[in-house]
Amino acid sequence: MLKIGSHVSMSGKEMLLGSVKEAVSYGANTFMFYTGAPQNTARKPVSQLRVEEAKEYMKEHHISIDDVVVHAPYIINLANTVKPETYELAVRFLKEEIARCEEIGVSRLVLHPGSHVKAGDEAGLKQIVKGLNEVLREDQKVHIALETMAGKGSEMGRTFDQIQYMIENTKHSSLLGVCLDTCHIHDAGYDLTHFDDILEEFDQKIGLDRLLVVHVNDSKNERGAHKDRHENIGYGYIGFETLNQIVHHPKLKDVPKILETPYIDGKAPYREEIEMFMHQTFNSGLK
């Protein structure tokens, strides 16, 4: 069965239970959430997130906790060598985020590798490795999925070579995987119409067994723009046909696919987009 869902919110009184209900309303069998606001470090104790009720609801609707994804907040920047306080916050908060995932029972944590803030790629890569070495514990169950990035500004992770360096130079590398974002790698310059070639390069440099999550997004920009602006499925420069082939690629059948496309007129498009992939037919009436 196709494992597909979207990112969902977690707020109000129902907390994680509400997240699961939202995912189910979209016809999803997986989902991704933030343990709090993605832009800050404010977090409620896990005891207040209604985790057990959420897990019961997941069981009733055939969603496995093993397929659920947490996304670390954007404020974590392990690549920063310019401001020690920014790096120290990133290390401390990432440790806390891993602990929250373990308490909830989620094993996939997506992380933006970070930005070197004009210090250069080499300095940024070494700082990310340093941070991962401080954060990862040999006995932890949570795997960090380093996200492929579009390369805007001084973003790290815009090539498979950079991701390969991070993994190969981290002590507990078995705890590292990858989140492949279709919009990001398109904007970074990869030609998704040759996806088999991309997977072959990925396998050679990183290993397909490390592919833990796929973010499925169309792009508002031409290939190689390095801008990172998500578009609704079928309305961007990647297109439905190419994304549909990726979503249904046999080598990715066990990997959770997560939609992060823009809301349309204030409404989530995920039910319609999931149906498009389930039926493998583009819905031109989405917008």
Q: Annotated binding residue at 230?
A: yes
Identify the three-state secondary structure at position 224.
Answer: coil
Q: Annotated binding residue at 71?
A: yes
CA-wise closest residue to 213 among 113, 276, 146: 146
Helices (DSSP H) in the chain: which residue ranges? 15-25, 51-60, 84-104, 121-135, 160-168, 182-188, 195-205, 240-247, 270-279
Residue 283 DSSP symbol: -
Return the exposure string of 145-182: e unless at least 16 CB atoms fall within 10 Å of the residue's CB, then b: bbbbbbbbebbbbbbbebbbbbbeebeeeebbbbbbbb
Angle, vertex CA 177, rays to CA 250 and CA 18, nearest 5: 80
Q: Annotated binding residue at 248?
A: no
Structure tokens at 17: 């239970």
Q: Annotated binding residue at 186?
A: no
Residue 116 DSSP symbol: -
Residue 155 DSSP symbol: B
Q: Annotated binding residue at 22?
A: no
Q: Annotated binding residue at 191?
A: no
> Would you tell me how many other CB atoms lie within 10 Å of the CB of residue 263?
10
Q: Annotated binding residue at 184?
A: yes
Residue 264 DSSP symbol: B
Which are the contacts of 57, defined by CB distance < 8 A and separation ≥ 6? 17, 20, 21, 24
Looking at the DSSP assignment, which residues form a beta bridge with residue 143? Answer: 108
Strands 69-71 and 30-33: parallel
Q: Which residues are annotated as a binding site for Zn(2+)?
A: 71, 112, 147, 181, 184, 215, 228, 230, 260
Q: Residues annotated as binding site?
A: 71, 112, 147, 181, 184, 215, 228, 230, 260
